[in-house]
Structure 1
Amino acid sequence: MFALFLTPPYLPFAIAFVVMIGIGLIEAVGLGLGHLDLDLDADGGHHVAGGLLDWLGLGGELPILVWLTSLLACFTLTGTAIQQIATAAAGGPLPWGVAAGGALIAGALLNTLAANGLARIMPGYESSAISTDDLLRYRGTILEGTARRGAPARAKVVDQYGQAHFIMVEPHDDADQIQSGETALLVRRDGSLFFALPDADTHFRPI
């Protein structure tokens, strides 16, 4: 059976199998790629995409690499099955492009069931990805330099999951300055730039 994977008709499925094993090894050595922070700020398209993601099995709380591994496994299994059936029925496997196309459709359908099933048996998973806007009302610490209007400084913000985010900060008020090592409350955002009220000069002090 292994020798079949080295022949051209089975090549797409051999590649998918190798990629699937590679993802498993990456997760096993703890590189943390399964915790990618995917920030989607386009709220207008969220509801449109939501139905498609739910259909694909991505609408629940399933880690993206678990879903991808499941998809690759389903693609490999359905592709191998298609070639085995074709060999038994017609005496030889289908061209790899035809088999891969059929396996992609059948594998995606099968993966919908598999992903939804995996999501139900993984109740402990909780995503730590947050939107950029969720950093508002957190306090950041200026790491270097002095933040002035028109001259932002780099700051560190720790979210509710304990993850550190590094952002550029300017004072909200023209007259304020935030020195290195000082903390400030993030009150608004303009693109990737945050504006903050320094704790030293505002009533919004930590309790």
Structure 2
Amino acid sequence: MFAFLSAPENIVFVSALVLMLLLGIVQAVGLAGDADFDAPDWLDWLGFGRVPLLVVIVLLLASFGLIGLIGQQLARDIFGILVPGWIAVPGAGALALPATALSARLIAPILPQDHTTAIDIETLVGSGATILTGRATTGSPARARVEDWHGQAHYLMVEPDNAGQVFEEGERVLLVRREGDVFRAIAVGDHHLPRLGI
């Protein structure tokens, strides 16, 4: 067995499996973070987007290594020789791609899915906010606090949408639009904000 695995024709396949094991160990002990990777559309079929990037790499290495070694074992059993690397490596690589895609589709439903509470800041328009620091006048924004629908607090700069209006600390306002880094707001007054129960 050792002679088979250490044969020059098999060293690439064994190396792929060793690298796959090392990546698995690194992930298991938590040394690797989840990398965000925007794959081109033509790579979607390989599993990018369905499973994390590291999982796709592990599946590709495992598929390549196992297909290569199984192919070499069959060649030795049938023909009595190992296939030269310049033939075996491209062949195993070509077969590993669809095998990786299939594996990614099979394991995607059982892997935990990413969940994010990140939002587009533009979606805060229509929310109620509280002036925290400063006095907001036209051209002079004040710092305000607003919560999104996840309950996450956001701190932003707010100034009145109407000329001559002033917002004092502690005042509740309604964000009506965004201009660059500043949100325009109107006084809550008698306005009803069903999202916030005001």
- On whether the aligned pair clears a TM of 0.5, the verdict is yes
**Could you say which residue in structure 2 is the equivalent of 1:114?**
107
- Are the counterparts in 1 of residues 13 and 66 from structure 2 also a CA contact under 8 Å? no
Q: Which 5+ residue runs of structure 2 have no aligned equivalent?
A: 76-81
Identity of aligned residues (%): 29
Distance 2:27 2:62 in 1: 17
Which secondary structure does the structure 1 equivalent of 2:56 belong to?
Answer: helix
**Could you say which residue in structure 1 is the equivalent of 2:124?**
135
The one-character-per-residue Cα deviations of 1:45-84 (angstroms, maximum 9, x if unpaired) are xxxx8xx97995747xxxxxx6445424422321322442
Q: Mapping of 1:78-117 within 5 angstroms?
A: 78-85=63-70, 87-88=72-73, 89=75, 90=82, 103=96, 106-115=99-108, 117=109
- Are the counterparts in 2 of residues 20 and 72 from structure 1 also a CA contact under 8 Å? no
- State the structure with more CA Rg: 2
Distance 1:23 1:187 in 2: 45
Deviation at 1:101, TM superposition (A): 7.9
Which secondary structure does the structure 2 equivalent of 1:143 belong to?
Answer: strand
The 10-residue stretch of structure 1 (82-91 or 9-18) with the greater mean CA deviation from structure 2: 9-18
Distance 1:176 1:101 in 2: 68
Distance 1:175 1:24 in 2: 60
**Could you say which residue in structure 2 is the equivalent of 1:156?**
145
Q: Residue 203 in 1 paired to residue 172 in 2? A: no
Distance 1:77 1:185, change over 3 A: same
Q: Which 5+ residue runs of structure 1 have no aligned equivalent?
A: 37-48, 60-65
Deviation at 1:171, TM superposition (A): 2.0
Q: Mapping of 1:58-73 within 5 angstroms?
A: 58=49, 67-73=52-58
Distance 2:20 2:165 in 1: 56
Q: Residue 167 in 1 paired to residue 156 in 2? A: yes
Q: Residue 77 in 1 paired to residue 62 in 2? A: yes
Distance 1:142 1:56, change over 3 A: farther
Distance 1:198 1:110 in 2: 56
Distance 1:93 1:166, change over 3 A: farther
Distance 1:9 1:78, change over 3 A: closer
Distance 1:15 1:135, change over 3 A: farther
The Cα RMSD (Å) is 4.6
Distance 1:69 1:164, change over 3 A: farther
Q: Which has the higher helix share?
A: 1
The 10-residue stretch of structure 1 (100-109 or 186-195) with the greater mean CA deviation from structure 2: 100-109
Q: How many equivalent residue pairs?
A: 175
Matched letter for residue 173 of structure 1: N
